[in-house]
Chains A and B, each alone.
Chain A
Amino acid sequence: MSKKITIDPVTRIEGHLRIDVEVDNNRVTNAWSSAQMFRGIETILKGKRPEDAWSYAQRFCGVCTTVHAIASIRSVENALNVEVPLNGQYLRNLMISMHSMQDHIVHFYHLSALDWVDIIACLKADPKKASLLAESISDFGGHGVDDFKNVQEKLKHFVDSGRLGIFASGYWGHQAMRLSPEENLLLFAHYLMALDYQRKAAQAVAVIGGKNPHIQNLVVGGVATAVNMDNMATLNVERLSLIREKLSEVKNFIDNVYMNDLVLLANRYSEWFDIGSSVGNYIAVPEYPVDTYNKDFLIQGGIFFNDEQNIHHKILDHSDDYLINNITESSEFAWYNNPAPLHPWEGSSDPQFTSYDYNSKYSWCKAPRFKEKAIETGPVAQILAGYHTGNKFIKKEMDFYNSKLSIDNSKYNSTMGRLLARGYRAKFSADTAVHFLDKLIDNIAAGDSEYANPTEIPSGEYKGVGFHEAPRGMLSHFIHIKDKKIKNYQAVVPSTWNASPRDENGVMGPYENSLINTKLADNEKPLEILRTIHSYDPCIACAVHAVDPEGGDIVKVKVL
């Protein structure tokens, strides 16, 4: 007999995502992904000045601040065809890549690792064995017997005093947890350690932004941060070397801790390379512009369709018409008026809430489609695009880990594949940050002192799109400017692509699709569903946003 299971909310941070599945004989046979908040925050931008759009967009989400700012400023620059000086591009690239490092570390350790790591089992570990295990993997510091004892004692203290807080709702002791006590302890120690490294990455970004967690320095046409090697008030030698120092520490952590932990999980849970496969269609846009017009990029983008052997379309720049013209959003299954698929420039967000209905409307998230196809976006899409467009760094990483883990490229369409791809992305974000820090310094040394191309918003009507390959995938901001004011603004965010409900043809979104056939060990504790959904790094705050007066930090699982 089939049963329905509801998990609400699924995300560990920002936003509310509800997943419903139908289970027959402990196997998922149907799935619904629902964003539980009205999205419509873009409406705030209507009537505002295009110059200010980025500072509003930055507040769409507390996790993805930098990425919305970047996509937004690019949308205005695209609409007005504004050239951005190289120093401006390099500084932006530096901020983007450092932000990615922080974001991925937090995702892996703080938002997804505890689906695989049983923290209660840590208490049973032998600190000596844990230390030996750690030292056999890498010579990264902080792995002494006393270090592990210390972590264990603290954890015990919290468990004994009932102060588990956020950990209280974990599925500890679940039969799908498979690490040894020592491996659990090792990963939990890294969970704590990772907090220091995500902070270091944030500090590096804040050096540019002037000691502030939100970036402050964008202007249409470039950045407002001038580098002056000798001036204390600007970005100077001392501050640039502080960035370099933080960068190298975080890079070391990613290379020698994060990646090794991923390999450990991939080995222990290798069957997860065959679980959680989704639509098999991917999209990624090029990132890290190295010219002044967003025509030339460090990493190329691409579109993949599951019924085609090779890459369907290479995306080489941000003005690609094939890309821009074929995006639509449908509200057939979302709580909005105007269900017909519309291009984002024409898009509206007119809410029409009815009840949750599996057969009709059930989400605040619209269904974005590319040529009527549901598409997955995120690190897997980006590494596949990099691989197929001959990016040497990405190819080298993939070939290395493919051989180490005895997998091939087809295995990235899986729950474990997504986690692994995110690790590569963290790794090349670190390398990219160093790369652009060097480029910036070289360019300044060569005498280029331009940071912005000051731009007045002209009268008239303009449409533009700003793309950004963000930590969660392809982000696009569509802007329509009329008479120096914003007439319409739509953000199609990565989690909208992935968390999408069904479209007018009944085609499921990537989250939904990836849950089909998942086997659950225990219907009351659907850990397997969380593993797959978390592998996308869901961030529903901007896919939809609003306030839930009930709060709701405890995951409710309802089995019908």
Chain B
Amino acid sequence: MLRVVAVAAAALALAGPAAACVHPKTSLSYLEGQIMCPTCHTTLDMSEAPAAQQIKAQISRRIAECWSAKQIETELVGNFGQGILAAPPHKGFDLLAWWLPLGGVLAGALLLAVGVWRWSRTHEPEPPETEHETDPETERRLDELLARLD
């Protein structure tokens, strides 16, 4: 009986860490691209700095505890401030960071469209030349020439 209990306890102890999170909600590779290294100002996936290594280890621990990406990001923001996020949040003043580039692209496209439209108007093919009117002097000389030919 004791042996059974001991075996069961050992099995539970071994299974503990593995059973901590059988269905992780996010991955280190995803978060490495979303989180900045505070000392080197690149994303974690681009950094081997000690601070980055430490944050990666922290993220791995949280993933093993079944935390979601949002929960991990919230904890890191609480720890390091908003600057730890690679992308600004979609709210408040930070929205400008999302909308300004889009507005710039739209304004550029609009300007380009107007420019192309104007250019196409100034370069429209000229209508074929119609009958030229001749001045009276030329007409008179032509008549004279024709009369001589007759």
Q: Do A and B bind each other?
A: no
Write the residues of chain A forming the contact surface with B, with a CB cutoff of 8 angstroms: none
Write the residues of chain B forming the contact surface with A, with a CB cutoff of 8 angstroms: none
